[in-house]
A and B are shown apart, each in its own frame.
Chain A
Amino acid sequence: METNQTKNAPTNVVGKPMDRVDGPAKVTGAARYSAEISVPGTVYGVLKTSTIAKGRITSIDTTRAAKEPGILNIFTHQNLPKPAKTPKQVEKWRAAQSYLPMQDDQVQYAGQPVALVVAATLEAATQAAALIQVTYQAEAPIDSFHDPKAELFDPQKIQQGKKDSHVVRGNPQQAYDGAAIKHEATYVHAINHHSPMEPAATLAVWEGADKLTVYESSQNVTMHQGALADLLGMPREQIRVVTKYIGGGFGCKGSFWPHTILTVLAAKAVNRPVKLVLTRQQMFTGVGHREDQEQTLKMGATADGKLVSLVHTKRATTSPWDNYTESNGKILDMLYACPNYSTTYELARANVMTSVWMRAPGEAPGSFALESSLDDVANQLGIDPLEIRLRNYADHDYSNNKPWSSKSLKQCYTRGAELFGWDKRNAKPGQNRKGRVLVGHGMATASYPVHSSQGTARVRLFADGHAVVEAGATDLGTGTYTVMTQVSADALGLPPEKIRFELGDTRLPTAPGSGGSVAAGTVASSIMAAAEDVWDKVVKMAVADKKSPLYKAKPADVKVELGRMFLIKDPKKGETLLATLGRSGQPDIEGSGTGKYGAGYEEKNFGQNGADENNDKKEKVSGGHSMHSFGAHFCEVEVDPDLGTVRITRWVGVHGVGTVLNLKTATSQMTGGAIYGIGAALMEDTFRDPNYARYTNADLAGYHVPVNADIPDIKVEFVPETDPYINYLGVKGIGELGMVGVAAAVGNAIFNATGRRMRSLPITPDKVLEALRQPA
């Protein structure tokens, strides 16, 4: 058998634009989302949330509420059973927010749960929650880092202690001071909310005092299981978390939030299965958000546009307890060939819940600053924006001095420019008129890292020619079911309709969740590892089987491709896995395996130094390769200079993402990434009232995400790319990549159209009109 490394094995269905295997179930309603699942005896939980943002509860009157029909209990901080541990005491599977509401009389943010009604019907629970009278002793809240009462501080560490708040490479300030071109600008990013179509939902089912099943809308069932085990003081094996379908998450379902544990505690107390679904309004204060933030970027460059220094600072709002902030600096550190770099994070505590990763956390807002400033410098020096990016092309990763595992960015630039017709762009801003509107063209680079991850899978091949493949991963709606069916089909040489791929259950082999763009690469690798286990077992059967053409062959001389075993030296000699299995009389055979993604995969297969002994280059690299996907966005806008409106009229995105598992779902995901980015660029903005620290537009009529009418035809292509270092199939993650650089591409196009640089997201008509009033 070959070693476990990327093979250019033939494929039948991997890469094909196969329709979603879960499509029919979704369009017919057969697919049950977490909130649609009921078990016998299910009752309904509804949260009552705080009207104030800071203070304490002085009384809770449930008299009227309790008169609603079928009330089982009304929980408040006075009678809700306490968890074994608070989120603060939990180490491994820590909740995004370390503060758990309903433990005392304190109120720390608007929309914080203060009571939980459990009733026989959703309607009664909802009305009872409305009838609970809570009186507060309110204090003046802090609404954001802009609040005069707020104090910026150096958090030392951000993201639950995982990252430093200050990073320096080289001599950034000195290099900036000595640079021929000095550019300094401040960028603003509005509060954004993930706003998936499916709200967060929990159905908690206790089967006895020490056995719990939770149907949760979760991007990561393992995480939810671990967090519950820790909080409840229960062994993980006693807790099952199930998530069969997700209607979008964008990060907000990848963390543990208060509603889940509150529901579980209430279910135990009423001794009934309790279902709780956050309302759309509660989705704005229940599952995190992208924080309000401001970045200042000093960009130093030579007179011919080569970057010499990037000095980046970020100021942002965080919660009273946690030091979460997106690490915007990451992408500034690695995207270009810049010898000097620093970033500094400053936070201020306000009466808001803890913010959390939202699609391309860090990279999305970070790239807006970097790519806008670079566009300015290009314009200032009269260099084409594409050309300045080529002049700063990083042939290795400057942040860690490692070579890239693969990088096809130049091909992305070239192909994108060709598809878009970039050479026809008028470089001079404000010159391109079409009737009443100004037309502009802009571009930006996209990049997202390959995060290290691993997971397990199980493959069970049946002699009758079908297979069941299992991994405890999740499908956000992006296509995990489909692509893993394709991977399994080729691994076993079966048609995809003979594969049943199961996910979303902690009873299945542990797999990573959908987050950080790790799912596809990791789960595909896990399936291949499990399939190899099956291959090994069947090859052993074949070489011992007199009727097999492989009888008496050495297993090491046998290779398996598309479900067929054959002699490497004489490929005609061989037979299918099923042929051997069928003769054996054994009804099925099972294999399992662990797959790795990213650095762990490289280390396992290429050694500590990432050097591949079989690699032609024979490179010896300390600590292996830097792993990223790259891409380029090209955007055309029409700006109405009288009305301030911006319409995207054309979009091209070309990306290098290693192996594409399914051209259709991958294209959809990259298209969705562009749309998500356009939302942040042009309209998404949650307004927090400065005096009440409470949102004023917390619904989908007030919080604008793009509709079809906002989106032109988006052209997405992938350039061919092979990456042997990242995982078995050479798959890079694509979930976040499509959004990175989008806001900058839009802003750059608006600059080209109007000669005005928009540095505050979202770029709404009022801001455009204001900019147009200023001289160009």
Chain B
Amino acid sequence: MNNFSYIQADKAKEATTAKRDDKSAAFIAGGTTLLDLMKLNVENHDQLIDVNMLPFRGIEMTKNGLRIGALERMSDVGEHPLVVQNFPAVSQSLLLAASAQLRNMASIGGNVLQRTRCGYFRDTAFPCNKREPGTGCPAIEGDNRNLAILGTSDACIATSYPGDLSVALVALDAVLTLENAKGKQREVPITKFYLLPGSTPQKETVLEDDELIVAVTIPQTAAAQKSMYLKVRERTSYAYALASAAVGLEVQGGVIRAAKVALGGVGAQPWRSPEAEKMLVGKAPSEAVFRAAAEAALRGAKPREHNAFKVEMAQNTLVRALSEVAA
């Protein structure tokens, strides 16, 4: 880890201005990803701007839905009654993630910006287009068991966001509130927040250099109320998803009125599947309908040597999750 300077920002503007003026600076909240990557020399920042004192807190129901301050901790949000009752998929995605110690530290804003666990990205001895653009991607011919099968490119096959929360947020149409150094806020649907790798895998989100995530808002819907997050992995805790599904269904009169489907662990980004949703809406819930939706969701999959299993696993995960919320 390189030497760095540290400042604690009391006001948002102080933080965003400092970030704007120093391209090598980084915000630090929980630090669970940042410090890890700095210790590995994957990220090298000469300045850390501590944003923990900023007032981006609170978990409250607003007219637009549940607003969660970006600095709330994963464990607090996951266990909050408003989240548990109205957004089960969000609560489950948080509580199935990481370990208790990490959940107590990690912030919601930081979680959304969590970086890939691809072993090649995390080890500077390897080439990596995400870490060092243009050096190549050894994962394509190497250890790709944990990597993506949807939305990948010849430059990068990482599950760029490896976590759980954003899968639920993407399914439930959450909106991120961002604030820049001018003090201007903008709202970005999380479905538009992440970028596919294409030829620029180093550019992972639409966040500008001087922008800070200040809040996440999740619309309150019937489908969100009836949602769940299912995570598959060989170790029951403290392991990333091999495949996961965040689903929500609104069923009225025996017919699916609204469907929310997203997959984790398989996409280059948290993978919303309008294809699957299209197969569900207007149909009576049944195993066959769920199966057809799952097949639609994985239709464009491009598996590699060690991750071909993810096609079937993701489909089955999705079918299982849909069956459970419909039950």
Contact of A126 with B237 in the complex, beta carbons under 8 Å: no
Q: How far is the CB of A772 from chain B (nearest CB, A)?
A: 9
Q: Which of B120-128, B203-211, B214-222 contacts A (4 or more CB under 8 A)?
A: B120-128
State whether A710 touches B235 (Cβ < 8 A): yes
Let me know if A766 and B126 touch, CB within 8 A.
Answer: no
Query: Which residues of B207-260 are within 8 A (CB) of A?
Result: 232-240, 242
Is B138 in contact with A704, judged by CB distance below 8 angstroms?
A: no
Report yes or no: B3 in contact with A127, Cβ–Cβ below 8 A: yes
Chain A residues contacting B1 (CB-CB under 8 Å) are 123, 126-127, 130
Known contacts A692-B138, A765-B242; decide if A110 and B125 are in contact (CB<8 Å): yes
Q: Which residues of B contact A52 (CB under 8 A)?
A: 125
Question: B49-57, B141-149, B273-281: which one contacts chain A?
Answer: B141-149
Q: Quick one: which of A647, A691, A698 contacts B138, CB cutoff 8 A?
A: A691
- Count contacts on B: residues with CB < 8 A to the other chain: 34
A-side interface residues, number (CB < 8 Å): 42
In angstroms, Cα B309 to Cα A644, docked, is: 10
For chain A, residues 695 to 723, give those with C-beta under 8 angstroms from any C-beta of chain B: 695-698, 701-702, 704, 706-710
- In the complex with contacts A642-B320, A696-B120, A769-B313, A701-B234 CB distance below 8 A: no
Q: Is the CB of B125 within 8 A of A694?
A: yes
Q: Which of A695, A706, A708, A766 contacts B309 (CB 8 A)?
A: A766
Q: Which of A126, A127, A646, A694 contacts B123 (CB 8 A)?
A: A694
User: How distant is the Cα of A645 from the Cα of B138 in the complex, in angstroms?
Assistant: 28
Q: Is A682 an interface residue (CB 8 A)?
A: yes
Which residue of B126, B145, B312 contacts A769 across the interface (Cβ within 8 Å)? B312
Partner of A766, one of B117, B143, B145, B239: B145
Q: Is B2 an interface residue (CB 8 A)?
A: yes
Given the known interface contacts A694-B126, A697-B143, A702-B119, the answer about A130 and B2 at a Cβ–Cβ threshold of 8 Å is: yes
Asked whether A765 lies within 8 Å of B235 as measured between CB atoms, the reply is no
Docked-complex contact A696 and B239, CB < 8 angstroms: no
Given the complex, which residues of B lie within 8 Å of A647, measured CB to CB? 236
A643 at the interface (CB under 8 A from B): yes
A-B contact pairs, 27 of them (CB 8 A): A52-B125, A123-B1, A127-B3, A281-B123, A642-B320, A643-B232, A643-B320, A645-B232, A683-B234, A687-B119, A691-B141, A692-B125, A692-B126, A692-B138, A695-B119, A696-B143, A697-B143, A702-B117, A704-B234, A708-B237, A765-B242, A765-B309, A766-B242, A769-B309, A769-B313, A770-B309, A773-B312
Q: Give the CA-CA distance A687 to B316 in the complex, in Å.
A: 26
Contacting pair B235 A683 (CB below 8 A) = yes
* A127 to B125 Cα, complex, angstroms: 16
Cβ proximity bits B293-327 to A, threshold 8 Å, 1 near / 0 not: 00000000000000001101100110110000000
Contacts of B123 in A (CB 8 A): 281, 694, 696, 698
Give A residues with C-beta under 8 Å from B. Answer: 51-52, 110, 123, 126-127, 130, 281, 436, 642-647, 682-683, 687, 689-692, 694-698, 701-702, 704, 706-710, 762, 764-766, 769-770, 773
Output the nearest chain A residue to B139 by Cβ-Cβ distance. A696
What 10 pairs between A and B have smallest CB-CB spacing? A696-B119, A51-B125, A766-B309, A709-B236, A696-B143, A642-B316, A709-B237, A689-B142, A704-B235, A687-B143
From B315, which residue of chain A is reached at the shortest CB distance?
A642
B residues engaging A (CB < 8 A)? 1-3, 41, 117, 119-120, 123-126, 138, 141-143, 145, 232-240, 242, 309-310, 312-313, 316-317, 319-320
- Measured between beta carbons, the chain A residues less than 8 angstroms from B232 are 643-645, 765
List, in ascending order, chain B residues with CB within 8 A of A697's CB. Answer: 119, 143
Distance A689 CA – B124 CA, assembled complex (angstroms): 14
Q: How far is the CA of A464 from the CA of B238 in the complex (A)?
A: 53
Tell which of B3, B142, B240 touches A696, judged by Cβ atoms closer than 8 Å: B142
Q: Please, how many angstroms separate the alpha-carbon atoms of A126 and B123 in the complex?
A: 16
CB distance from A122 to the nearest CB of B (A): 11
| Cα–Cα, bound, A615→B41 (Å) | 68
- Whole-angstrom distance between the Cβ of B34 and the nearest chain A Cβ: 15
Residue of B nearest to A646 (CB): B234
From A644, A690, A709, A766, give the contact of B142 (CB < 8 A). Answer: A690
Contacts of B41 on A, CB cut-off 8 Å? Answer: 130
Which residues on the A side are within 8 Å of B2 (C-beta)? 127, 130
Chain A residues with CB under 8 A of B234: 645-646, 682-683, 704, 762, 764-765
CA A48 – CA B141 in complex, angstroms? 27
Given the complex of chains A and B, what is the CA–CA distance between A773 and B309 in angstroms?
11
Beyond the given A690-B142, A694-B123, please list 4 additional residue pairs across the A-B interface where CB-CB is below 8 A. Answer: A51-B125, A689-B126, A707-B238, A766-B145
> B141 — which chain A residues lie within 8 A by C-beta?
690-691
Shortest CB-to-CB span from A642 to chain B, Å, is 4
Chain B residues near A698: list those with CB within 8 A.
119, 123
Checking A695, A762, A766 against B313 with a beta-carbon cut-off of 8 angstroms, the contacting residue is A766
Given A701-B238, A704-B235, A707-B236, decide whether A643 and B317 contact each other with a Cβ distance below 8 A: yes
Q: A683-B235, A701-B117 are in contact. Are A689 and B143 (CB under 8 A)?
A: yes
User: In the docked arrangement, what's the CA distance between A698 and B242, Å?
Assistant: 18
CB–CB B126/A707 < 8 A: no
Bound state CA distance, A644 and B242, in angstroms? 11
* Cβ–Cβ contact A707 & B143, under 8 A: no
B305, chain A: closest CB distance, angstroms? 10
Contact of A706 among B3, B235, B240, B313 (CB under 8 A): B235
Chain A contacts for B125, CB-based, 8 A: 51-52, 110, 692, 694
Distance between Cα atoms of A52 and B142 in the complex (Å)? 16
Q: Which of A110, A692, A698 is the most central at the interface, judged by chain B CB atoms within 10 Å of its CB?
A: A692
Alpha-carbon gap, A127 to B44, bound state (A): 11
Q: How far is the CA of A190 from the CA of B172 in the complex (A)?
A: 40
For residue A709, which residues in chain B have a CB less than 8 angstroms away from its CB?
236-237
Q: Cα distance A51–B2 when bound, in Å?
A: 19
Most buried by A among B234, B310, B316, B317: B234
In whole angstroms, how far apart are the Cα atoms of A687 and B122 in the complex? 14
Q: Which residue of B lies closest to A694 (CB)?
A: B125
Does the CB pair B143–A644 fall under 8 Å?
Answer: no
Residues of B within 8 A of A642 (CB): 316-317, 319-320
Query: Could you tell me the distance between the alpha carbons of A765 and B231 in the complex, rounded to whole angstroms?
Result: 12
Taking the nearest CB of chain B, how far is it from the CB of A732, in angstroms?
Answer: 33
Tell which of A52, A110, A694, A770 has the most Cβ of chain B within 10 Å.
A694
* Complex CA distance for A698 and B317, rounded to whole angstroms: 28
Give Cα A765–Cα B242 distance, bound, in whole angstroms: 9
User: Can you name the residue of chain B whose Cβ is closest to the Cβ of A706?
Assistant: B235
Taken together as a complex, chains A and B put the C-alpha atoms of A701 and B40 apart, in Å, by: 14
Contact yes or no, A643 B313, CB < 8 A: yes
Contacts of A696 in B (CB 8 A): 119-120, 123, 126, 142-143
Residues of B within 8 A of A646 (CB): 234
**Contact call B235/A707, Cβ cutoff below 8 A:** yes
User: Of all chain A residues, which has the CB nearest B98?
Assistant: A701
Instruction: Determine how close the nearest CB of chain A comes to the CB of B40; give it in whole angstroms.
Output: 8
Q: Residues of A contacting B142 with CB < 8 Å?
A: 689-692, 696
> Does the CB pair B313–A644 fall under 8 Å?
yes
| Cα A766 to Cα B312 with chains together (Å) | 9
Q: Within 8 Å CB of A773, what residues of B?
A: 312
Q: A126-B1, A694-B123 are in contact. Are A704 and B239 (CB under 8 A)?
A: yes
In the bound complex, residues from chain B placing their C-beta under 8 Å from that of A644 are 232, 309, 313
Give the distance to chain A from B308, nearest Cβ to Cβ, in Å.
Answer: 8
Q: Could you tell me if A687 and B235 are in contact, using CB atoms closer than 8 angstroms?
A: no
**Alpha-carbon separation in the docked complex, A643 to B138 (Å):** 28
CB distance from B159 to the nearest CB of A (A): 13
A685 to B125, CA, bound (A): 20
Q: Which residues of A lie under 8 Å from residue B119 when comparing CB positions?
A: 687, 695-698, 702
Residues of A with C-beta under 8 A to B235: 683, 704, 706-707, 710
Q: How far is the CA of A466 from the CA of B125 in the complex (A)?
A: 57
B198 smallest CB distance to A (angstroms): 24
Instruction: Report A123 CB to chain B, min CB distance, Å.
Output: 8
Q: How far is the CA of A698 from the CA of B40 in the complex (A)?
A: 12
In whole angstroms, what is the CA distance A51 to B317 when docked? 38
* Most chain B beta-carbon contacts within 10 A, residue among A695, A697, A762: A697
Complex-state Cα separation, A773 to B316, whole angstroms: 13
